[in-house]
Structure 1
Amino acid sequence: MFFNPVRTSGQPPVIDPSGDALFLDFDGTLIEMADHPDLVTVESELIAHLGELQRACSGALALVSGRRIVDLDRFLAPLRFSAAGVHGLEQRLEPEGASEPICGPEMLDEARESIRAAIAAVPGLNFEDKGTALVLHYRTAPELDETAKRIMRDAIAGRDDLVVMDGKRVIEVHPAGMDKGRAVAALMQRPPFAGRRPVFIGDDLTDEHALAFVREQGGVSIKVGIAQTCAEFRLEDVAAVRRWLGLRT
């Protein structure tokens, strides 16, 4: 997936609200990471500014996150956005529309039982069941990296309909065939996104599919942080993202 970028530093181009479609990751991009996913802080100023951007772009702003859409709504209330949750396994094409899962949670039942049994004797692993995805967090116990990966690999042994995906001190099992790039591609087929220049910004390995798709489409691909990437541009951290979006920090 990775290739040598033409440009990996310097300020990305200024957003054009009349012609751009904005696709924004959440954790590590709009907000700082936390030791537990429920402990993040979303300031009222950020929520208000996202609402202003949504209106300026005539609704062409979507959140593309590993989180469930219902959790994004909870953090960003009272606002709602078009969204792809759980890396595209949930989709909401319109802000006031319904969230549609790509698959049901039952296909993960065997893996779910395997993971629960395996982590019972491993303090430091935090299990999150998203319904359509199963996640192990180990931000407070990085030494458990290989243990977490082994547990997840074992949970889907012999299955070609499930995949393991790595992130920053997190590892996830979910159905094969969907990622953030495909989620962005689906949104770009519909108004108000269709016909606009796609802009995606994200910080994690899980964002690379979307960064690659946007770059292939001639859009603006922005990596947050210093990790290897296929993105054309970089921003240093969450504070830099907010400044680029026009929010005073």
Structure 2
Amino acid sequence: MKRPPAIDAKTHALFLDFDGTLVDLVDDPESVALAPDRIERLQEMTERLGGALAIVSGRRIEALDRFLSPLAFAAAGVHGLERRVRPGGETRFLMAPEALDPVRDALAPTLEENRRLSLEDKGTALVLHYRTAPDLAELAKTVMHKATRDRDDLLVMEGDNIVEVHPAGMDKGRALADIMTASPFEGRIPVYLGDDTTDEFALKTVGTMGGIAIKVGTKDSVAEYRLADVADVHHWLDICGI
């Protein structure tokens, strides 16, 4: 495992995935928590980076704010469909939730018949969870693909015990590239940490930009560097040079 190098607060910009990177994956997504000292460390790093620290997540930005309070940070939520390019700035929404109403309707019968599946409605994305029902994985994938088969404007992505649908043409890599065009990120070298399949878009983008791509865990990745798990991420954040 090739460990990542130290980074420079003056020249780098730091992008962090949330679930599986800053917090461990759990059955109930609402039960995660980050220790106060970890949030204080992120605040310290944000200040040293001049605000060039962003959380890039499949979650909504309002949820990230709740879990990371009182930290102020830039963010890309719902894989980039929500954007906040600077700490304390306004959040932009790139799609209206109503566009997914036909998919909601198509999924409803399966959810009614299989209560162990759960649907997380992010407004601009829908996530079908089967972590507590791994035997229903193929059903979850099949019903999501069927619900979106006539929608060229939508993209289905499979992640860690989830299958998610959101508008095509948007992913974490594109979100990162967009944020990198705005102050205080512009002109800096991107560093990205992420654990899931959906993070590969950002890890690849960072690689093409000459940045530092860091995969968390043991899954296949385009990333050059590795960290073992969430605990290792926090250890590295403590010694990374910022």
TM-score under structure 2 normalisation? 0.97
2:238 aligned counterpart, secondary structure: coil
Residues 75 and 84 in structure 2, CA contact (< 8 A), matched pair in contact too: yes
Counterparts of residues 129-208 of structure 1 (less than 5 Å): 129-208=121-200
Mapped partners of 2:72, 2:164: distance in 1: 26
Q: Which residue does the alignment assign to 1:53?
A: 45
Deviation at 1:116, TM superposition (A): 1.9
Deviation at 1:207, TM superposition (A): 0.2
Which position in structure 2 is the counterpart of 1:6?
none
Q: Say whether 1:14 aligns with 2:23.
A: no
Post-superposition offset of 1:99: 1.2
Identity level (%): 54
CA deviations on 1:84-103 (whole Å, 9 max, x unpaired) are 00000110112211211111
Residue 17 of structure 2, aligned match among 11, 15, 25: 25
Instruction: Choose the corresponding residue for 2:217, options 220, 225, 243.
Output: 225
**Do residues 122 (structure 1) and 114 (structure 2) align?**
yes
Are positions 1:105 and 2:105 aligned together? no
- The whole-number CA distance in structure 1 between the counterparts of 2:232 and 2:164 is 28
DSSP-derived class of the 1:193 partner:
coil
- Could you tell me how far apart the structure 2 residues matched to 1:129 and 1:94 are? 26
Q: Is the 8 A contact 2:203 2:223 kept in 1?
A: yes
Residue 236 of structure 1 is matched in structure 2 by 228
For residues 167 and 3 of structure 2, what CA distance do their matches in structure 1 show? 36
Report the number of matched residues.
239
CA distance, structure 1, for counterparts of residue 184 and residue 67 of structure 2: 24
The corresponding residue for 2:237 is 245
Partner residue, 1:3: none
**TM-score when normalising by structure 1:** 0.94
Deviation sequence 1:197-218 (CA, Å, 0-9, x none): 1000000000000000001111
User: Over residues 9-41 of structure 1, what are the superposed CA-to-partner deviations in whole Å (9 max), with x where a residue is unaligned?
Assistant: 222011211111000000000111110110112
Give the ranges of 4+ consecutive aligned residues of structure 1 lying more than 6 Å apart after TM superposition: none
Give the whole-Å Cα distance in 2 for the aligned partners of 1:44 and 1:98: 25
1:39 aligned onto 2:36: no
1:75 to 59, 67, 88: 67
Moved more, 62-71 or 120-129: 120-129
Distance 1:94 1:197 in 2: 17
State how far apart, in whole Å, the 1-side matches of 2:193 and 2:62 are: 21
Say if 2:86 and 2:183, in contact at 8 Å, map to a contact too: no
Across the aligned residues of Structure 1 and Structure 2, the Cα RMSD in angstroms comes to 0.9
Compute the displacement of 1:117 (Å): 2.2
Q: Distance in 1 between matches of 2:39 and 2:135?
A: 35
